């Protein structure tokens, strides 16, 4: 009997978790996993690479460590298009892949919302390479300062004070002394600023925790401004408007980093799949509404949260649960059984403000901050590593400096 062909696009949190479940539980399957990289990225740590707190190899591990030969064939290549009707996937430099079931887990990319100059003059943090590029760019500016004395070289402007922007400015604030040494200045000369159009910060946290975050960052000399809508990005300047006073303010900076939000992979749009910002509104079982053999999960999927009346946010924690549910639903379908609905119960949300500081809310609503919250963040990250890469990767790449 011919084996059932399952394609998995993307070896991020969602794709790798689905792969692990299918490899251990599905019978008579032939899995093809495709990713443009040979390694899995811990995307939740990109800000640490961009800030120079850790090297890229600390947040990556080989996909081959998770692949079971004989069941799964891994292809390192870029997916360009999905043809749901023909049940094929187009891949750069390869024959198209055919499938009986498909899991689309192609993740996110930075979204500029069409703001003029953002693509040309601001740096994204979309993957390990672009995160490394942010660090290299800033270091080059600091080195250049030694001779040019251009004050803008010491300035970083982070556009977007969401989760990513706040984690990034927290990590950078911690490294000010290291940056200052490179430029030959004092830590107080390094200017870190984060701006956002929203009137308040981090809506997923109670306002007292968001206030704590801003105060702690200010203590380390990092400024966060709300109600600053970005009009335009020029070479070395962000032009924003104070949303309350309508005053136009220019933020000059040698390094401009873009963290205003994310969209799903462009492969969704290239494939003509109906979506909003490349996120497909999937069924409660995570299937494409137009093809029940295609599952769309992680940051390329949108599922309504009945409680909030809004789609669930894009997080690694949710991507992992989706990976599990999609794999189990394929197995159920192969066995002629009814699949399960996606449900997510948050164990807690934590936003780091550097290595030893953070804010968080546990699943039961308990608020945490400071050292305790930062230790909790590391435990959550280690759990993700264990779920996708197993004990080996958790021990090799995990964060065990919980008590500092």
Ligand X SMILES: Cc1cc2nc3c(=O)[nH]c(=O)nc-3n(C[C@H](O)[C@H](O)[C@H](O)COP(=O)(O)OP(=O)(O)OC[C@H]3O[C@@H](n4cnc5c(N)ncnc54)[C@H](O)[C@@H]3O)c2cc1C
Does 35 sit near ligand X (CB under 6 A)?
yes
Span interacting with ligand X, options 28-36, 51-59, 149-157, 303-311, rule CB under 6 A: 28-36
Query: Which one of residues 36, 94, 234, 367 is an interface residue with ligand X (CB under 6 A)?
Result: 36
Pairing mode of beta strands 262-264, 108-110: antiparallel
Kindly name the residue from 42, 167, 191, 393 that is annotated as catalytic.
167
Which CB sits closer to ligand X, 36 or 58? 36
| Active-site residue, 48 included | no
Query: Which one of residues 6, 21, 29, 34 is an interface residue with ligand X (CB under 6 A)?
Result: 34
Residue with tokens 């800033």: 138
Question: Residue 123 carries which DSSP code?
Answer: B
Pairing mode of beta strands 191-195, 222-225: parallel
Contact letters (x/-) for ligand X, 41-80, by CB under 6 A?
Answer: x-xx-xx------------------------------xx-
Contact by Cβ (8 Å): 111, 277:
yes
Query: Which one of residues 267, 275, 353, 373 is an interface residue with ligand X (CB under 6 A)?
Result: 267
How many Å apart are CA 226 and CA 34, to the nearest integer? 40
User: Residue 95 contacts by C-beta under 8 Å, 6 or more apart in sequence?
Assistant: none
How many Å apart are CA 374 and CA 357, to the nearest integer? 5
CB 359, min distance to ligand X, A:
12
The number of CA neighbours under 13 Å toward the Cβ of 194 is 28
Measuring CA to CA, how many Å separate 380 from each of 256, 294, 298, 377, 402?
30, 30, 17, 5, 12
Span interacting with ligand X, options 221-229, 244-252, 311-319, 393-401, rule CB under 6 A: 311-319
374: tokens are 């930062």
Contact by Cβ (8 Å): 303, 295:
no
Does 284 sit near ligand X (CB under 6 A)?
no
Q: Which 163-222 residues touch ligand X, going by CB under 6 A?
A: 163-164, 167
Does 347 sit near ligand X (CB under 6 A)?
no
Which residues are part of the catalytic machinery?
167
By the criterion CB under 6 A, which residues form the site for ligand X? Answer: 10-15, 34-37, 41, 43-44, 46-47, 78-79, 105-108, 125, 163-164, 167, 265, 267, 298-299, 314-317, 319
């Amino acid at each position: 009997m011919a084996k059932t062909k399952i394609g998995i696009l993307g070896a991020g949190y969602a794709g790798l978790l689905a792969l692990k479940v299918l490899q251990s539980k599905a019978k008579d399957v032939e899995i093809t996993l495709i990713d443009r990289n040979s390694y899995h990225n811990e995307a939740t740590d990109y800000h640490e690479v961009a800030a120079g707190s850790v090297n890229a190899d600390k947040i990556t591990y080989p996909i081959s460590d998770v692949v079971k030969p004989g069941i799964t064939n891994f292809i390192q290549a870029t997916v360009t298009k999905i043809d749901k009707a023909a049940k094929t996937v187009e891949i750069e430099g390869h024959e198209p892949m055919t499938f009986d079931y498909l899991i689309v887990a192609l993740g996110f990319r930075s979204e500029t919302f069409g703001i003029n100059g953002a693509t040309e003059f601001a740096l994204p943090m979309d993957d390990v390479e672009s995160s490394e590029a942010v660090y290299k760019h800033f270091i080059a500016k600091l080195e250049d300062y030694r001779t040019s004395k251009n004050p803008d070289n010491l300035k970083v402007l982070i556009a977007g004070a969401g989760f990513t922007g706040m984690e990034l400015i927290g990590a950078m604030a911690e490294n000010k002394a290291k940056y200052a040494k490179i430029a030959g200045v004092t830590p107080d000369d390094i200017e870190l600023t984060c701006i956002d159009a929203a009137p308040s910060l981090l809506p997923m946290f109670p306002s007292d925790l968001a206030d704590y975050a801003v105060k702690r960052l200010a203590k380390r000399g990092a400024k966060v401004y709300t109600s600053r809508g970005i009009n335009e990005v020029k070479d070395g300047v962000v032009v924003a408007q104070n949303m309350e006073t309508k005053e136009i303010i220019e933020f000059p900076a040698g390094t401009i980093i873009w963290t205003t939000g994310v969209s799903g992979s462009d492969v969704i749009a290239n494939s003509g799949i109906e979506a909003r910002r490349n996120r497909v509104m999937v069924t409660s079982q995570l299937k494409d509404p137009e093809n029940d053999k295609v599952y769309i999960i992680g940051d390329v999927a949108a599922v309504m949260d009945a409680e909030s009346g809004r789609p669930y946010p894009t997080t690694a924690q949710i991507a992992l649960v989706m990976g599990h549910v999609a794999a189990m639903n394929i197995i159920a379908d192969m066995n002629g059984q009814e699949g399960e609905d996606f449900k997510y119960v948050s164990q807690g949300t934590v936003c780091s403000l550097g290595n030893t500081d953070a804010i968080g809310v546990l699943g039961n609503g308990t608020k945490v901050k400071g050292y305790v919250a930062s230790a909790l963040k590391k435990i959550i990250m280690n759990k993700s590593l264990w779920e996708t890469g197993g004990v080996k990767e958790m021990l090799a790449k995990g964060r065990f400096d919980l008590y500092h």
